[in-house]
Structure 1
Amino acid sequence: MRIHPIFVGLALFCTLPGSSLAQAARPAFTPSRNVYRLPFADGTHVKVFDDFFTHRPPGRNDLFAIDGQPPYRVVAAASGRIVAIQDGYSEQQSGRAAKDCHNNYVWIAHPNGEWTNYSHIAHDTVTRKAGLKVGDWVKAGQYLGDEGAVGCAMLHHVHFEVATPNPKEPIDSGGFLTDNENGKRERNPRFCGVPGGFAVKGATYQARPC
Structure 2
Amino acid sequence: MITVLLADDQALVRGALAALLRLEPDIEVVADVGNGDDVVDAARASGADVCLLDIEMPGADGIEVAARLAAEVPGTRSLMVTTFGRPGYLRRALEAGASGFVVKDTPATELAEAIRKVHAGLRVVDPALATESLAGGANPLTEREREVLRECLDGAPVAAVAARVHLSAGTVRNYLSAAIGKTGTANRVEAARVAQRNGWL
- Shared fold per TM-score greater than 0.5: no
TM-score bracket relative to the smaller structure? under 0.3
The structure carrying a bigger helix percent of its residues is 2
Rg larger in 1 or in 2?
A: 2
Higher relative CO (CA 8 A, sep ≥ 6), structure 1 or 2?
A: 1
The TM-score normalised by the length of structure 2 is 0.25
The TM-score normalised by the length of structure 1 is 0.24
